[in-house]
A and B are shown apart, each in its own frame.
Chain A
């Protein structure tokens, strides 16, 4: 017999919040200790952006490659697919195969989507 949930706590939310608070506590505690024991000295040059010793030239928030956006949008499409597939994956073994067929349609549409993006050149890094 495999026992569930430590200490028999049935409310998982409590445990999830415990883990979350532990994470916050770890950072806060370490920051507090570091704040107490680390040295402080002020020098205007220390506050500069670190760019290998030379002064910053131009805007730091520069333009970046549009490809990052494209991949992010494609990611959204396929990530939602995973969300939809998971509940199906849990109980697709049923006597009738309607679940398999239903998802097959969904799956084919997605594969076509990927093929379309590929053909359009969205997957190329130019």
Chain B
């Protein structure tokens, strides 16, 4: 343990929000101020959510294209930057087909659940110093709880469509997501041991000196690798995309959805990719915390000048790149291989890793 704590000089967004709050309070009653602020937060969330999803769709298409020695989208706007905007408008003007064989209520409910789950997780992420929306003492636990709602939406979507492809797709997706949620949960427990707090701000603050991936060295590295594998499976991507394996199940659980209804699942999928990378950033790479090396005060000062949201989004996008990379590196798994990977390899390793982490901390071997 180092005695010298590095002073964190990053820009605190509280210096913007607190005066705004005071100014609003000066001529409004308390409840109205809170309402106005909540609307502002909601609009901000909506904008960031939508823009990030559009960016991710573009980003993935470009990365996939470069992996396959193609150019990717390059006609709409400079370097195809406006491609995903064009796609969004196209998907909005597609017909919503009325089906006769579905459970109408559940069919309409499923996209709400999927979007709500990802929106709640999205609001938990630490965007910057003082720029965090849902933040309380059991923040990371709240995040796990919210992310599990998404499975429910997917199961409902597949079941209510009343179609064989969707049913099998939803069941596969459900089995996969609940199984890999265990690994994610255990990785989070491992890192919470190191942090000593479940508050998201607390976890970020605990990484001021060194990021957890360096602090917890071996155990943190194992947890990180397991987290990335489980995160890929959790978002139904890469080698784990068998719920929507197009060659066997057409599109999996959202086969019967058309137009913008399908768009919601698409949106949530990309946002979940960001959320998984964001949580990995939070747990292993210090959230919005700049790279600090203890002793190098000048270097730390320079790093602090880079705005904190750029640190957070930069790290999250870099991790998403790795997840996209997986997709083009590994062949798709079979359902039995998928489940045995989780239950016979990742889970025992994870349990062992938790013991290792506890041993490291108890013996004081962390950096």
Contacts and interface: CB of A to CB of B under 8 A. Distances in A.
Interface in A1-31: 1-9, 12, 14-16, 18-27, 30-31
A90 B150 CA distance: 26
Contacts of A78: 182, 347
B133 A6 contact: yes
B18 to A, nearest CB: 6
Contacts of B37: 6-7, 9
A23 B150 CA distance: 13
A59 B289 CA distance: 55
A14 B38 CA distance: 8
B168 to A, nearest CB: 7
B92 A33 contact: yes
Interface string B250-291: 100001100111011000000000000000000000000000
Contacts of B351: 107, 110-111, 114
A114 B119 contact: no
Interface size class of B (residues with CB under 8 A): 35 or more
B340 to A, nearest CB: 7
Contact of B167 (A46, A62, A86): A62
Contact of B112 (A24, A37, A93, A110): A24
Contacts of B135: 4-5, 12
B115 A27 contact: yes
B201 A16 contact: no
B129 A86 contact: no
Contacts of B347: 78, 114
Q: Chain B interface secondary structure, helix, strand, loop or mixed?
A: helix
Interface residues of A, number: 73
Interface stretch (B39-47, B71-79, B230-238): B39-47
Contacts of A118: 343-344
A42 B96 CA distance: 11
Contacts of B171: 64-65, 68
B146 to A, nearest CB: 9
A98 interface: no
Q: Which 9 A-B pairs have the closest CB atoms?
A: A3-B14, A125-B336, A23-B119, A19-B123, A82-B185, A47-B100, A23-B116, A3-B130, A34-B260
14 contacts: A2-B201, A3-B18, A4-B135, A7-B18, A15-B133, A27-B111, A30-B260, A30-B264, A34-B92, A42-B98, A48-B100, A90-B192, A123-B343, A125-B340
Interface of A: 1-9, 12, 14-16, 18-27, 30-31, 33-35, 37-42, 46-52, 56, 60-62, 64-65, 67-68, 71-72, 74-75, 78-79, 82, 85-86, 89-93, 97, 100, 107, 110-111, 114, 118, 123-125
